[in-house]
Structures are given as structure tokens and as C-alpha cells.
Structure 1
């Protein structure tokens, strides 16, 4: 069908350099995904919003998340067998890594995966909950990994130290966002990782690392993922 043309080149062809199309079901009056006059200058012409096509081929302003947590706690440390990690004082390289949780993503074409996360953690000197008091620093890091790829995506870390056994032990968070290329159709595993590292001990004759116990996901954690 042609509009402004007798020779349409597609099933629907709107001809003319100034040809436009208007869908009133997508305007700010009829669609709550349309923000209207977001900048408040009284001109709707300079406020635009992305238009998507859903799996049925219908236009929509709403971009659905692939794996939203919807305000729930995505990682419950009481039911995750590997959410806690212990860096032993005899560890030779001063670093230990654990997998906190995983997701499986299946795509039928190459895609881009957007990932945002916030993961909580608490730091102790032992599995008994001993408060650290040696004034030495520990680094607690979180990042994302994709099956078949050795890269660490969206790394976020904090350094923790304490000088007194009376120090307050509190919950902290790492958070980041990243984009991951899914190069072909297939099924991928997205893993949320936790890492703990320490200064090497000054007494190399007896120990090589600083003993550190970290419990990940003790608070309310979130994950947001969507495909492009």
C-alpha cells in the first residue's frame, strides 16, 4: 500500500521527504510509558522515547527486562552453598574466588546483554565471625563472567581494614553495570562472582596470606538484565 505514491516499494510505503507516521496509542495521553514533556519546556517535539518491536511484531515503548528481580532479594546466602569464601593464611597467592549465583540466557541470534547488579558482603577474620584487628587491608571484589569467556565484566571492589576487636562489623555493597556481547545464537551461563584478596603476610616463614572470611549476599541484593 502506498501513501503519497502510486508505486509502493514495500507492503507500506509512505513517500515524500516530509512523510511521517503518527500512532496515538503511543502518545503521552494514552501510554504511561511515554514521559510526555520530560524537560518541562512546554514543547513536546523535543521529548523523544525509544520505540521497540515485541515478539509479535507490535510496536511498544516498554523494554522488558530479561531477568528482573522486581525488588526481591535475588541472592539468599542461607541457601547458596558457595556464597561464603575463606582466604586461608596458607594460601600461596593471597586470592580466592567463588561463584555466588548464576543465570542461564538463551538467544536465537547475536545479542548484547546489559547487566546491572548490587551484591552485599560482610568481612571477618574467621568462619566464627572474628572481628579483624590487624590493621591490614583486604580487597573484596564482585564481577560478572560469561561461559566460554575469561573476561571479568563489570568489576567493583572495596578495601576493608580494621585495627580493633571492638570495630563495628557492618554490611557493605559492591555494584556495577556492564554490557556483554553474546556472539551467536545459543545458551550462555552468566555467573556472579565474589573475590577476596589480601596483603601477603610479613612473616613469610609461617604464613603467606592474611586469613579472611567473607559472606556475600547477606543483605538485599539485586540483578537486572535485558537483551538488545
Structure 2
């Protein structure tokens, strides 16, 4: 009788926790090692080509029963037709604009030969695991000069007005902005700068906010600045040289 009891109890003790690469498992299944991985062959590109194209990583979902699947339509672990759990996460990206060689940020020059100049100053890629609403908030600093900021900063003394407008467009699938994507300007905001004979150099802050719906996949935000000044005027604008912050919230 004692032998029978030991036979029944001992296996349950062995199965309490399983360790791979460790003799001291701390969970029901503990895989040790800083390069350890898990492979489920039923989810690879050969066995599940509908959800795994074999090119880019596929998001994994957990059903109500705890099953791991690549199919977002499996809602309850038994059949199809379920809904994905809501997503709501925030990405905060400080200093999202390159400082540049002169630490004045991204520099765009509106020369004496033009009165309107638009330039791209930052591209930020991101990924959404499913169709969702994206909300973007940005804050950028601006410094203006009457000479090229790549060389020297010079205050204005021409008693004239400049306008600097900021906005972003969304490159769906991160494959380059097409004509339709470029035509949609989100988070449009700007400032006017009026100079005087005793003009000084300094930074100003501009904040913008925009949102729209996006499909699942890899995307990117393209940030633009539009500079407007008078005829024969030269305006050099440094964007993000002092401080800039980007916040991206994705939720459904």
C-alpha cells in the first residue's frame, strides 16, 4: 500500500514545475537563457500561410481559453467570429527631430527666389497590430534667422512678417507617401513672426494635435514645415534644435 501511494504522489511532484536550461524553475514552465526561444510549428508560414506570410513577423493573440493563435478572428478558443481585445497604448518619443550637424535641428531655407517653401523634417515609423484610431501630439521648437543657420545666426531687422506652419501626413504601409496620402495634412498649426529693427534670436514652441483611422500594419508619420515670407526675403528655420516631443496613442 505504501508503494502505491508513493507511485501516485511522486509524478505530481515532478510535474509541478518544468525547467528548460535550469534546474530551479520558478514558473510552471521556465525556459532559461538570454537567447532562449519558443517554436510552435503549427503557426509557421508552411502550416498557417493565411496568417503568416513568412516575410514579416505575425502578431500572436491569446484566446479566452489561453490558446495562442495567429488568427485574430478566433475570439473564444472554440470557433471563429470573436473580436479582438481593445488596444490602448502610448508611445512617447523625445527628440524625434534630428539635431543636425550644427545642433539647430532640421534646417529649411526659404530663399530670396521663393515666397513659399515646404520641407520634410522628420519621419517616424510605427506599427499598429490591428485597425485602430491613432492620435498624434507633437511639440517642436523653432528658431529663425535672416541668414543660413548652417553657417551663422542673424536676427531680422527688415520689419517684415514670416509664417511657419507644421503638419504631418501618414504613410500607410510605410512604402512612401503617394498623392492621396500627401494631400491629407493632420495636426496643422503654426506661428507668425513679426520682426523689428531690434529683433533678437530665440526659440518658440509650436504644439500640434491630429488623429485619424488606420489599418493594421507598418506605417510612418512624415512631418513637414511650410515657410511663407515676402518677396526677396530670406528666411532660415531650424526645427527641433532645442527640444521636441512626440506622443502617439493607438486605440480602438
Query: TM range, normalised to the smaller chain?
Result: 0.5 to 0.7
Describe the shift of the 1:145–1:62 C-alpha distance in structure 2 as closer, same or farther (beyond 3 A). Answer: closer
| Corresponding position of 1:213 | 236
CA RMSD, Structure 1 to Structure 2 (Å): 2.8
| Corresponding position of 2:134 | 113
May I ask how many residue pairs the two structures share in their alignment? 159
What is the TM-score with the length of structure 1 in the denominator?
A: 0.62
- 2:96–2:122 CA contact under 8 A, matched in 1: no
| Corresponding position of 1:16 | none
- 1:135–1:161 CA contact under 8 A, matched in 2: yes
Describe the shift of the 1:133–1:192 C-alpha distance in structure 2 as closer, same or farther (beyond 3 A). Answer: same
Pick from 139, 152, 163 the counterpart of residue 139 of structure 1: 163
**Residues of 2 paired with 1:195 and 1:161: CA distance?**
16
Structure 1 residue 181: Cα displacement: 1.8
**Residues of 1 paired with 2:104 and 2:120: CA distance?**
9
**Residues of 1 paired with 2:250 and 2:104: CA distance?**
29
| Corresponding position of 1:168 | 200
**Residues of 2 paired with 1:89 and 1:197: CA distance?**
11
**Residues of 1 paired with 2:190 and 2:125: CA distance?**
25
Q: Which runs of 5+ in 1 are unaligned?
A: 1-54, 202-206
- 2:146–2:234 CA contact under 8 A, matched in 1: yes
- 2:97–2:105 CA contact under 8 A, matched in 1: no
**Residues of 2 paired with 1:143 and 1:124: CA distance?**
21
Structure index of larger Rg: 2
Pick from 105, 120, 126 the counterpart of residue 147 of structure 2: 126
Which has more helix, going by share of residues? 2
| Corresponding position of 1:185 | 216
Structure 1 residue 61: Cα displacement: 11
Pick from 65, 74, 89 the counterpart of residue 64 of structure 1: 89
Give CA-to-partner distance per residue, 1:11-40, whole Å, 9 cap, x none.
xxxxxxxxxxxxxxxxxxxxxxxxxxxxxx
Give CA-to-partner distance per residue, 1:203-227, whole Å, 9 cap, x none.
xxxx4xx210001101111000011
| Corresponding position of 1:157 | 190
| Corresponding position of 1:225 | 248
**Residues of 1 paired with 2:192 and 2:224: CA distance?**
17
- 1:119–1:142 CA contact under 8 A, matched in 2: no
What is the TM-score with the length of structure 2 in the denominator?
A: 0.56
- 2:190–2:206 CA contact under 8 A, matched in 1: yes
Structure 1 residue 185: Cα displacement: 3.0
Pick from 98, 111, 121 the counterpart of residue 100 of structure 1: 121
**Residues of 1 paired with 2:62 and 2:188: CA distance?**
36
